[in-house]
Amino acid sequence: QKEVEQDPGPLSVPEGAIVSLNCTYSNSAFQYFMWYRQYSRKGPELLMYTYSSGNKEDGRFTAQVDKSSKYISLFIRDSQPSDSATYLCAMSGRLGETSGSRLTFGEGTQLTVNP
Amino acid sequence: NAGVTQTPKFQVLKTGQSMTLQCAQDMNHNSMYWYRQDPGMGLRLIYYSASEGTTDKGEVPNGYNVSRLNKREFSLRLESAAPSQTSVYFCASSIWTGGSGNTIYFGEGSWLTVV
């Protein structure tokens, strides 16, 4: 069983829709939770970062972490065609300056927002 | 500011051939990484270097070697390429920022096909 599970989609929504992307995980040691966005034939770029449980909002994007349920979500409000990309969740345990960042990634969800 | 630059972008190899993927970052980051991305598997860590002069195995190191040439450069070598190494390879770098942990920045990717 994978440590991080993410529905690969594809997910297709109309412009303006609210999008919900989710990941579940099994490792209780995970404390840092991230969402990356990856456009076609490009490298992933960091979108949102959350430490431990709670919500974080940045413009149209909201990240939620529920450690008790081992479940994280990314919500996109008023979705735009430019949001069409693959969204990857990533997480890690306790980080340190010399330990490197041992991120574990989900498989990624492919999202298409139709005009 | 180029960020993380990796070469070549595309390469076709015959089984048994060797090659080196080059990576350089100009952000003065301490840590560097090599990931591979495959359909259905997500991003998997091959090797990482937490700081200049150190390298460690990641999740899928078999068949690869790495060299941290200096703080800027981190190369990935395939000594005897196999079809199973057909993948998209991403180099990445990060710097420890205390409470925010490590933020990983990815290169654009290298598409490798082994025939």
Q: Is A101 on the interface with B (CB under 8 A)?
A: yes
| Cβ contacts of B109 on chain A, cutoff 8 Å | 41-43
Interface test with B, best of A49, A102, A109, A110 (most B CBs within 10 A): A102
Tokens of A7: 């529905």
pLDDT tens digits for range A32-41: 899 999 999 9
User: pLDDT over 90 for what percent of chain A?
Assistant: 70
pLDDT recorded at residue A53:
81
Tokens of A29: 């040691």
* pLDDT above 60 for A64: yes
pLDDT recorded at residue B98:
60
| Cβ contacts of B41 on chain A, cutoff 8 Å | 107
pLDDT recorded at residue B99:
55
pLDDT tens digits for range A81-106: 999 999 999 988 766 554 555 788 99
pLDDT recorded at residue B80:
96
Give me the sheet containing B19-25, strands edge to edge: B4-7, B19-25, B74-78, B64-68
Q: How far is A50 from chain B (nearest CA, A)?
A: 9
Q: Cis omega (within 30 of 0) on the bond before B61? A: no
pLDDT recorded at residue A60:
97
Q: Which portions of chain B are predicted below pLDDT 50? A: none
pLDDT recorded at residue A92:
83
Q: How far is A92 from chain B (nearest CA, A)?
A: 10
For A105, nearest residue in chain B (alpha carbons) = B43
- Contact (CB<8Å) A100/B90: no
Strand B74-78, strand A45-51: pairing? unpaired
* pLDDT above 70 for A111: yes
pLDDT recorded at residue A106:
93
Q: How far is B22 from chain A (nearest CA, A)?
A: 16
